[in-house]
Each structure stands twice: as C-alpha cells, then as structure tokens.
Amino acid sequence: MLVIVAPGQGSQTPGFLTPWVADPVFAARMRWLSAVAGMDLIHYGTEADADTIRDTAVAQPLLVASGLVAALELFPHPADAFSKIGAVAGHSVGELTAAAGARAITAEQAMVLVRERGRAMADAARQRQTSMTAVLGGDRDEVLAALERHGLTPANDNGPGQIVAAGTREQLDALKADPPAKARLVPLQVAGAFHTEHMAPAVDVLADLSRAVSTHDPRTPLISNRDGQIVHDGQEVVRRIVSQVSNPVRWDLCLETMRDLGVTGILEVPPAGTLTGIAKRALKGVETFALKTPDQLDDARAFCERHGTPSGYDTNPTWRMVVSPAKGTFHASDTCSEGDLVAAREPIGAVQSLRDRTEVTAPHGGTVVEWLVQDGDLVSPGQPLLRLHPEGVPA
C-alpha cells in the first residue's frame, strides 16, 4: 500500500526548484500558482537565499505549490493517482498539499489559504520573541516532563526520539540550561513558536477566511495531523487545517495509522527527505522514496506501481459512505438501523481503541442503506462502515 506525504516548513533549501522549472509545463503551472499566491514562487525556489525563503510568508506558499506541481508530474492524469494511492498525509503546512491532492479542496483554494496562513503566522510570530528547538533522543516521558516544567509545548511529535519544543526564547533558554537526560537539543531556524497558543491570532484569521471555502469529501483517505485519524468529510478537513495552526502536529500518530493501514511504500514530494528520514526510523521494513529532482520521476513512477493499490474510495462513492477514522472496535448506535433517516453530523457509533474512544458521525444526511460492519467488529482506519442514500437524491 502506497502513502504519499508532503513536507512542512523547514524542508526548503535554496535552489531546490531549479531542475524542476527547466520543464516548461512545470514552470507554467508554477507561474499560475504564483499568480494565485501573489508572489514569484519560481524566483523564491531558484534564486532566493536561505534567509529569504525562511520567511514564513514565503516558505509556506512555496512548499505547497512545489508539492502540488511535482505531484502532477508524477501523476499527469489524476485518475491514475486515485487508482494507486492508499492514503495521503502532510506535515504541518504540508497538510494543505495533501488536502488538495486528495481533492478535498482545489489547488487554487489551497494557495489562497496558505498565502493567508503564512502571512497570519508571520504576524503572530512578530508579537513576541518565540522559537522552536528539536529534542533528539532521551526518554519520551522525561522529555515531555522537561518541556512541561519549562512551560514549553511539544509542538511537533515526530516519532521515536524526535520531539520539537516551542515557546518563548526565555523558556527555550531554560530548557537549554536544564535539558532532559541523554537528549540533544538542536535550535531550529524558524520565525516563531508554531503550533502553540502563540499562533492563536492566525487561527482567527483563517477561521474567518475558511467559511468561504467550498469542499468535497477526499477522494483518497487523508490522515490528519491532529490525531492520526482518517478524515472523510471535506469540511472537517478544512476545520482541522485551521485549528492545527495553534495545536501540536502529531506525526507520530500519523505514522501509527500508516502502519495500521498496512503501508509498504511511502513517497515524499519535493522538497523531500525529512519525512522519509523519519519513516525509515519509525517504520522499519517500509520502503521509502524521497522525490527531489525530476530525473527521479521514472523511478518514482515504478515505485508507485510496485506499492500502489486503490484506496477503495474510487469504487465506492464517498457521498454514500461513512468510514472509520481509526483502528479499534466499532460500537454501533442503537438508534441507527437500516431504513432510518440520519441527519448530517449525527453520531452513528464510536471506535474504541487502546488509546481513546472516537465518535463517528455521518458527514452528510441520508437514509441507511446497509451496515458494512457489525457491532463489536474490529475496524481499520478508512474502512467503510455504513452506506447511505443521500437526502434529496431519487432512489
């Protein structure tokens, strides 16, 4: 099973787009997304220096546009992608890349959202001196305790041995003076404490803007940064992208869901390397492919052929299904029987895992046609649970 992942801020390097824009089709698509973003993304990806592309307002649109256009190079016909990709995920701002790739939103909507996201987060970062530090190694519980002791947020939980602390400069200095045992601290060159309460003003900006975004249910299972759950409702995808700005990225839980799905291959779109590096450590035995330059495209397509299988969404219309957000035991609602009319957002049951209990709701209203699982069944992330006939559609 193939998972496509999109990296987040910090993965960009000066000139990483140079070999890509030699292709006139790639360059034309980048110019189109540059027009939507209101900035020359080709210049930033080929000529700008490291300090310039470190700017949040520049880095985020550059990353999303690069990932989307590279994905079109990999899958020139999107229908081909839906027949091969088992799931998609994006780290932090990469979640916008993943959402557009899964067709929950359009590429143009993603570029408007990321443009405003980058600006709003940069503005929020200027209100107080904050930053982030990677904590590598050490005992997980001791690392988390040290962060709590110094008032820091574990803003990125990237898997075994890699947690990113975020907070004020004073809090980070205190952590440096009193680090957790056997851990190495690496200050990150970022402009603020992303995915913390310090980004709350940016959430308000995006929440207002997102009300005008029309959505579709993802055509491919989308794994959420918030909790590693599969999100099947397009509106919920956007809500999570908005709230995630001030909440931690739980990439560790995304990796758990990939394992539960049975992933065999992970391909990272440009600028690639960070997420495949994490996957090599966390998912032993899973093959990875970091797509960095266009001369790798033939090998990348062969990689996708080798690992690709349809997600199941392509043969089952998403507007008629409710799917499991997580792995666990499914408990059906006793008020939801075949023939019943279910309202939009109405609970139809819950998935109980070792970690927590997750309520499952119907993203759209409709009549229950058939249950695809029974009460007490073990379910996996993205597994169809219930088939609905939509309201207002002739039978």
Q: Residues with catalytic annotation?
A: 92, 195
CA 27 remoteness from chain centre: 25
With contact defined as beta carbons under 8 Å apart, do 379 and 385 qualify? yes
H or E element, residue 386: strand 384-390
Residues 36 and 190: their CA atoms lie apart, in Å, by 25
Nearest to 239 by CA among 115, 113, 77: 113
- Report d(CA 257, CA 49) in Å as an integer: 37
Listed in sequence order, the residues at least 6 apart from 55 whose beta carbon sits closer than 8 Å to its beta carbon are 122, 191
Give residue 270's Cα distance to chain centre. Answer: 15
Distance of CA 275 to the CA centre of its chain: 11
Q: How many CA atoms lie within 13 A of 379 on its CB side?
A: 30
Residues 6+ apart with CB under 8 A from 317: none
What are the start-end ranges of the H helices in the chain? 24-37, 41-46, 50-54, 56-74, 78-82, 94-101, 107-125, 140-149, 169-177, 200-210, 234-243, 251-261, 274-282, 297-307
Residues ≥6 apart with Cβ < 8 Å to 387:
320, 321, 368, 369, 370, 371, 372
Residue 335 tokens read as: 């008020």
3-state SS class at 81: helix
